Amino acid sequence: MKNTKKEYNRAGYSVGIVFFLVYHTAKRKGSMHMELMYTSTRNASEKVTASQAILKGLSDDGGLFVPTEIPALDKTIEELSEMTYQQVAYEVMKKFLTDFSEEELKHCINAAYDSKFDTEEIAPLVQADGAYYLELFHGSTIAFKDMALSILPHLLTTAAKKNQVKNEIVILTATSGDTGKAAMAGFADVKGTKIIVFYPKNGVSPIQEKQMLTQKGENTFVVGIHGNFDQAQTGVKQMFGDKALAAELDAAGYQFSSANSINIGRLVPQIVYYVYAYAKLYANGVIAKDEKINVVVPTGNFGNILAAFYAKNMGLPIAKLICASNENKVLYDFFTTGTYDRNREFMLTSSPSMDILISSNLERLIYRIAGNDAAKDVTFMNDLNTHGKYEITPEMKAQLADFYGNYTSETETAAEIKNLYEKTGYIIDTHTAVATGVYHKYLKDTSDADTKTVIASTASPFKFTRSVMDAIDPKYDSMTDFELVDELSRIGNVAVPNAIEEIRTAPIRHNTVCEVDQMPAVVKGFLQVK
């Protein structure tokens, strides 16, 4: 008997070896479809598919979904350089969303990146004053959020079908100005969905607010809160974690999902435009094959620069990830000291989409530099929740060597807009100016002028006309918002975007305002849940 068992074990071992070799050869050659799973930053045992992660938005334990590994790009730069934006999107997204079929994914991409963008390139590159501005504002709401929120509704509804979801999906989201409008534009009148957006009543630009309050769609709801963005975001997160509320909604035929950048369905499409920008630079002869570039990203929530980090880890030749903050410089302080500390005065600035002290997406990076250790991540997040701060270890800080952080003050932001306009005639918005200011500080600190640099231009100047025009010349301050729009169009020699033309005369459709603690009651009221 013993001998038989030995032989059996030996045979099993041999079969195992053969399987191992076949499997890894197939994987290497790309002949075997590998399903990428997602896990929570706070619970390593939870494993879900891409479509399940998109549907849930946030893990039950409050963690964020991250891929178990970051897949490598399997197309050469020569191949990518000949592709359209839609084709590049497919090559990137198929690596992350592995339970979507080719047909499903291409349908989502083609439905998203169509004529609602005012340029065929989708995300054009403009050279100005030694840098390459990646214009991410050519979608229906003229901000970079369109790049992901144009496709998220299609990914979400496809995911719902794949997982036989019977409930109506309620998109619950907080916005610092751009996400709300972009999400509503994406989800407006999409069957089987409702969308509820919370924003800080006095913390967005007049144009941003009007864009939201005039939003059409019977399934769209907008609420101004008496509080700041962090409070809106915390309120939304608490509702996601409220099991009693979830049960009430389920009984009424609803379930929550998220359109915030915490949703992996938001993050993955953002990786695409960095790959596309690199491919375009190569196609235009600006960079040689494998030449490294720098990327500068203005960020509050850390999602947009995290996408660039993921692109780098897919194999895209990025040297430095330059993280630009405004006067809410919690991220700059983090990269400088290794301590994340939100215990500080909240500043209202001219770049309101970055007025954030709780950078939710940073958790994904923390999890990674902690060695994908969910228990460590939980400790840091508990410290943040309890004490408003946490400190990473020296070993973790050493893994941030590819990042450079700095900030641009309000005065400096205005000066950057004015200087670039006077030098080149090119007009940028306040958020992009924060990035430009930090890029200039990076050059001063490093003398790295030879590395080609892409600056993520995250919003159209038409979205923040007053701040932009005041920066160029204080005389404009006497004009009305829409007079400023026309003057900006004239001096910049740029047509007024449709997104602005539409709201000139559009009626206000949403006027709900509430206190922070009333947010769950407002949601139940909209959904008529008793």
The predicted-structure confidence for 458-468, as pLDDT tens digits, reads as follows 999 999 999 99
Please report, in tens digits, the pLDDT of each residue of the chain (530 residues total): 444 444 444 444 444 444 444 344 334 333 345 899 999 999 989 999 999 999 998 898 989 999 999 999 999 999 999 999 999 999 999 999 999 999 999 999 999 999 999 999 999 999 999 999 999 999 989 999 999 999 999 999 999 999 999 999 999 999 987 788 888 999 999 888 999 999 999 888 888 899 999 999 999 999 999 999 899 999 998 999 899 999 999 999 999 988 878 899 999 999 999 999 999 999 999 999 999 999 999 998 999 999 999 999 999 999 999 999 999 999 999 999 999 999 999 999 999 889 899 999 999 999 999 999 999 999 999 999 999 999 999 999 999 999 999 999 999 999 999 999 999 999 999 999 999 999 999 999 999 999 999 999 999 999 999 999 999 999 999 999 999 999 999 999 999 999 999 998 899 999 999 999 999 999 999 999 98
Pick the CATH number of 125-138+264-498 from 3.40.50.1100, 3.40.50.300, 3.40.710.10, 3.40.605.10: 3.40.50.1100
Taking only the tens place, the pLDDT of each residue in 365-411 is 999 999 999 999 999 999 999 999 999 999 999 999 999 999 999 99
Query: In terms of C-beta density within 10 A (0-12 exposed, 13-18 middle, 19 or more buried), how is residue 455 classed?
Result: buried
CATH class as words, domain 145-263+508-527? alpha beta
pTM of the predicted protein model = 0.89
Beta-bridged to residue 295, according to DSSP, are 321, 454
Q: Is 145 marked active-site?
A: yes
**Structure-block tokens of residue 234:** 């915390």
Quote the CA–CA distance of 246 and 254 in Å, as a whole number. Answer: 8
DSSP result, 70-101: PPPP-S-HHHHHTS-HHHHHHHHHHHH-TTS-
Residue 309: φ, ψ to 5°:
-65, -45
- Which residue among 56, 145, 312, 329 is the active-site one? 145
Quote the CA–CA distance of 217 and 29 in Å, as a whole number. Answer: 47
- Asked if 275 contacts 311 with a C-beta cutoff of 8 angstroms, the reply is yes
Note the maximum CA span of the chain.
97
